[in-house]
Structure 1
Amino acid sequence: MKDLTISIVNYNSKEHILKCIESIYAHGEGIDIDVYVVDNNSTDGSVDDIKKNYPDVKLIMNNENRGFGDANNQVLKRFNSRYCLITNPDIIILSGTLQELVKFMDANKDAGAVGCKVLNPDRSLQYSCRRYPSFIMSISRGLLIDSIFPNNKIIKKYLMMDSEHDKVMPVEWLTGCCLMVRHETIKEVGTFDKNFFMYFEDVDICRRINKNWKVYYLPDVQMIHGYQSNSRRIGNLKHKLIHLKSAIYFFKKHGLFTNNTDVLQEN
């Protein structure tokens, strides 16, 4: 069994994905790695560039955009390695990160998932480990109200801005831009819920993992995330509606509308 499978979902990410793959191969020494790219019907020529430059990458071609979770499931349902790293095409892997994540999972058998410190391109901290959201907070994020009131205490608590980010700690959930999962954990809890086209699929799977395992934040190693999220652009109505639909489904699925405080107090 290989050490690590890396799953990258591509949708017209030509500007970023080649750099992502390059960083994986540049910093994957000592690890037996399979790299998968699941393409959601891109039209920007990125697939041809991947085939030309990285023939060892395993390509899964979809004839439609299946979303983030369902596309990653095509890898999660078939990967044959001890761990699988879910990552975004605008991620840059840094030296030692993959090795330390694998080492941590090997040493901590209670870890169902782990993520490293995520940095913005300017090397400032990106808040990738978070507390479970409330519905009101989720809507405020979807509507970019947090951009208007950046010092909101509820948002700061949700993003764990009140916590130190320089120590290993179990957390409630990690964003899907950098999420390493254990093979046995996925066999037990299942893959991403495909009913989330985009958004909340990472909250949902971490919540399921946290029932019998732990989700850890590992700050000693880092990745850089370009954070090319359309959802954070003012005026993108389509993405706001997708975010709202996913939020409603998440809170209905977990029965959190009736007792919304549960989602803030778990773990």
Structure 2
Amino acid sequence: MVYSPSVAIVILNWNGKHHLEQFLPSVLSTNYGNYKVVVADNASTDGSVDFVRSNFPKVEVVVLHQNFGFARGYNEALKRVEADYFMLLNSDVEITPGWLQPMVELLESNDRNAACQPKILAYKNKRLFEYAGAAGGWLDAYGYPFARGRIFDVCEEDHGQYDTTQQVFWASGAALLIRSNVFRQLNGFDEYFFAHQEEIDLCWRLQLSGFKLFCCPQSIVYHVGGGTLPRGNSKKTFLNFRNNQIMLAKNLPWPEKWWKIPFRMALDQVSALKGLLSGDGGYFIAIIKAHLAFCRWCIFHKRTKRTYPLAPIKSLHGICQGIIIWEHFVKKKTRFSEIINVDN
């Protein structure tokens, strides 16, 4: 009998009954020999828990007593789940036949392969890469995230141009397969983040700890995207800008940190001013609040002790040495392959 590592597909839900009704049946059709499905509910008020228990009795349900957000929500839920691998999956994802096996095989091929994501395409237009991860996440040297197949808000059509398995800087939290022991070794997500960019922070810490991350394009899923906080929402803007600064402060070594963070804050202020001049006062205020919140974090937040050394960002996989905003907004490059050699 062939051994199959156990996989827990864990869906974190908050008032997403409509997504569970639509997409949970596809998840339950997963063709893999040793898996279970867990719905972790972040104190929903839309009847999600009763719906799952009534209609999907094989699905395990973990009930959390309040909305902990993405980061702490998963941390709390996964304390109650046992498996060799955790497959963190958004509730608005449609899977495809055989999606899980290639990712498990990739991670099983080497003990240092700690996490990976599938190729993520848009549910509403299956020819396009989806914003949240596309074909694997990269970072520029100043902390701006982008992905193979997605530069800022521009998502490419999928023509198989990123169909090679590649190491990446970060794997999307929308569909993230990770070794359970490694997730626990690094204490999971940083709960201060609440939501947004917590998976990038985790992946950064994984690399600093000597692990590798991949996109596995042999696996394909379709993601609706947007979630509970669609792009353009002021709270989402606040969390993205605040968390990005915290991530830099946590993971950059001092020779880079002391100048890159002020430089990034200056670039953020330019973006905020541009938003204000274009009539988006909410965007401007959200960035100002994010910077103030970051300053409070620097002063008051208690740091946890690291078990790994920091390293120059250029020494890590999935890093663009330039400034992605210059490449995109000034030089007008809209495709990943125009900025990074696709063989990387």
TM-score normalised by the shorter chain: which range applies? Answer: 0.7 to 0.9
Q: Following TM superposition, where does structure 1 have runs of at least 4 consecutive aligned residues deviating by more than 6 angstroms?
A: none
**Offset of 1:2 from its aligned partner?**
6.0
Correspondences of 1:117-196 after superposition (within 5 Å): 117-121=119-123, 122-123=125-126, 124-126=128-130, 127-133=134-140, 137=144, 146-147=152-153, 150=154, 164-196=161-193
CA–CA distance in structure 1, aligned partners of residues 77 and 38 of structure 2? 7
Counterpart position of 1:210: 207
Q: Give identity over the alignment, percent.
A: 25
Partner of residue 250, structure 1: 247
Q: Which amino acid aligns with 1:32?
A: N
> Tell me, what secondary structure is at the counterpart of 2:115?
strand
Partner of 2:119, secondary structure, is: strand
Paired AA for residue 222 in structure 1: I
Match of 2:19 among 16, 21, 45: 16
Higher strand share: 1
- Residues 128 and 175 of structure 1 are in contact (CA less than 8 Å); yes or no, is this contact kept in structure 2? no
Higher Rg of the two aligned structures: 2
How many correspondences in the alignment? 249
Unaligned runs of 5+ in 2: 262-311, 318-344
Of 230, 233, 257, the residue aligned with 2:231 is 233
Q: Can you list the C-alpha shifts for 1:169-227, whole angstroms capped at 9, x where unaligned?
A: 11110110011011332243221111110011100111111121100111112011111
- Decide which of 316, 323, 327 is 1:266's aligned counterpart: 316
For the pair 1:70 / 2:120, whether they are aligned, the reply is no
Deviation at 1:99, TM superposition (A): 1.9
1:59 to 61, 66, 71: 61
| TM-score between the two structures when normalised by the length of structure 2 | 0.65
Q: Render the CA deviation track for 1:203-254: whole Å, top value 9, x for unaligned.
A: 01111111211001111120111112455433x2222222222222212222
Higher RCO structure (Cα 8 Å, ≥6 apart):
1
Q: What's the counterpart of residue 340 of structure 2? A: none
Cα distance change of structure 1 residues 6 and 146 upon mapping to structure 2, 3 Å threshold? closer
Tell me the residue number matched to 1:200.
Answer: 197
For 1:51, what is the secondary structure of its paired residue?
helix
Q: Equivalent residue for 1:41? A: 43
Q: Is the 8 A contact 1:132 1:264 kept in 2?
A: no
Q: What CA deviation, in whole Å up to 9, does each residue of 1:116-143 have, x standing for no partner?
A: 11110121222251112565746x9xxx
Gaps of 5+ in 1: 151-155
The change in CA–CA distance for 1:187 and 1:233 in structure 2 (over 3 A counts) is closer
SS in 2 for 1:258: helix
Distance 1:232 1:264, change over 3 A: farther
State the alpha-carbon separation in 1 of the partners of residues 170 and 43 from structure 2.
29
| 169-178 or 106-115, which deviates more | 106-115
The range that moved more, 221-230 or 125-134, is 125-134
The amino acid that maps onto 1:175 is: S
Distance of 2:257 and 2:161 partners within structure 1: 30
Post-superposition offset of 1:264: 5.7
**Alpha-carbon distance, 1:11 to partner:** 0.8
Amino acid at match of 1:73: N
User: Retained in 2: the 8 A contact 1:36–1:60?
Assistant: yes
